[in-house]
Structure 1
Amino acid sequence: MIVELSHRIHEGLVTYPGVPAPRLGLHLSREDSRKVYAPGTEFEIATLTLAANTGTYLDTPHHRYPEGPDLAGVPVDRLADLPGLVVRADGPGRAMRLDTSLDVRGRAVLIHTGWDRHFGTDAYFDGHPYLAPESAAWLAEQGAALVGIDSLNIDDTPPHGERPAHTILLGAGIPLVEHLTNLAALPEEGFRLHAAPPMIAGMGTFPVRAYAVLDG
């Protein structure tokens, strides 16, 4: 069984305040292609203008650190076919603090907050849950392979702009996936995560088609 974990990208989608929405266009319409190809043969070639941080996307270390691996530099085995672990939100407050008895080494750790229910609305941008810095440090120490969250940001987003979870995890070479969805449909264990972007040199972030394959 395959479980979809990505939000749908469409023209006008606002993923994060201040980040421009994607715009769809055409390089070649079906009508114009009829002048190029044989009778009865037609194609459409679309164009897309979007910020790299749109929809469900991957952060590589290059997003935070200029010398860190970019989209083309992170090995695909750090992004695909990873054994997964879902951690559910538990307790009051917005800061997610993880159970340090969990076995996270070599796993994709997905933090399920349920905040994805607000995606596409103004409520998504205010008061979102995030990963506590001490839990980010613990994940780095324990050797998590990838960390994801179904919220606006893995960090709190105060006006002063501090991003400790990004700094810690990307500094440890651990890719991040933000704006996940549908984590409620996953078991806590027993699945493998796939979240690989195109191999684009010189870029640190890009949308992914994240999904989970359940064991058995």
Structure 2
Amino acid sequence: MARIVDLSKTIEYKKEDPWFMRIKVKHKPHHKAFMLIRYFLKLPTKLFPKDFVGWADDAIKKMGVHSSTHIDAPWHYSPTVAGQPAKTIDQVPLDWCYGDGVVIDMSHKPDFEEITVDDLKADLQKNSVTLTSGNIVLIRTDRDKLKGADFVDKGTGMSKEATEWLIDQGIKVMGIDQWGWDLPLRYLVREAKRTNNPDLFWQAHLVGKDKEYCHMEQLTNLSALPAKGFKVAVFPLKIKGASASPARVVAIFDE
């Protein structure tokens, strides 16, 4: 029997979220659907099954593909990878999306300090973990516990070099439990203005121009996982031509 640990956020409206993160879901109760069913079928109530109250229905009114827990396709980073057309989310091979999971604990990293290659190697060595091609690597920062604007404005972030190093180990899919893969955006804006340096932005994302990979953002519950010994499933919705997709990411333990 398998034990499954959910690593995904709930898709829901949260007033405390910044405006650009808010999701709107319209829930349609049974009785309203019943009226519509009667109208379209032109069927009198007496001919419906006894005690039938209608079908519940729901509509997602506002939700971007980068909202909540999601996986970015190579197309998100650039239209090409090493000169070849980049994959959209519907073109990402499903065998990339299921594999042995590895958690790298970076929860000790302070806000606004990049995660380096040495950081990754030190944690892997501490836990006697050797990466192999096809692993799905999860970067634990514990910033999933932050709420509202703090979730967006605080956190660590992967460096360009650390992202490249993971890809060079054969890792196609990796993820993090904070708002973004890179350092927080507003911090980078402040630093760019202070230093007059345009090269600070999205350094880890832009690795995708030269090396093919996908990363997940806004994972949750990584603190419940060991460093190794489980599978990860992260199947995206098959959205034609999309740059990303919401995903129900889970860890699976074979017990």
Quickly name the TM-score band, shorter chain normalised. Answer: 0.7 to 0.9
Structure 2 CA distance for aligned equivalents of residues 152 and 29 of structure 1 = 33
1:114 counterpart = 2:142: yes
CA contact (8 A) 1:193 1:213 kept: yes
Map 1:83-98 → 2, pairs under 5 A: 83-89=100-106, 92-93=109-110, 94-97=113-116, 98=120
* Aligned residue in 1 for 2:165: 138
Structure 2 CA distance for aligned equivalents of residues 171 and 199 of structure 1 = 24
Q: CA RMSD in A?
A: 2.3
Identity %: 25
Distance 1:170 1:178, change over 3 A: farther
Distance 1:92 1:114, change over 3 A: closer
TM-score normalised over the length of structure 1: 0.87
Structure 1 CA distance for aligned equivalents of residues 177 and 16 of structure 2 = 16
TM-score normalised over the length of structure 2: 0.75
Structure 1 CA distance for aligned equivalents of residues 136 and 15 of structure 2 = 27
CA contact (8 A) 2:106 2:139 kept: yes
Name the structure with the higher helix share. Answer: 2
1:51-103 deviation digits (Å, cap 9, x = unpaired):
111111110111122331112111111112x1111101176542112107642
Distance 1:92 1:30, change over 3 A: closer
* Aligned residue in 2 for 1:202: 241
Query: Highest CA radius of gyration, 1 or 2?
Result: 2
Aligned residue identity for 1:45: D
Structure 1 CA distance for aligned equivalents of residues 247 and 140 of structure 2 = 18
CA contact (8 A) 1:13 1:22 kept: no
* Aligned residue in 2 for 1:19: 20
Identify unmatched segments of 5+ residues in structure 1: none
Secondary structure (helix, strand or coil) at the match of 1:31 reads helix
1:143-179 deviation digits (Å, cap 9, x = unpaired):
1131101112111221257212112147422111111
Structure 2 CA distance for aligned equivalents of residues 193 and 69 of structure 1 = 21
CA contact (8 A) 2:182 2:203 kept: yes
Distance 1:68 1:194, change over 3 A: same
Name the count of aligned residue pairs: 212
Deviation for aligned residue 1:19:
2.1
**Of the candidates 197, 203, 206, which is equivalent to residue 167 of structure 1?**
206
Aligned residue identity for 1:24: V
1:70 counterpart = 2:88: yes
Distance 1:92 1:200, change over 3 A: closer
Structure 1 CA distance for aligned equivalents of residues 100 and 77 of structure 2 = 25
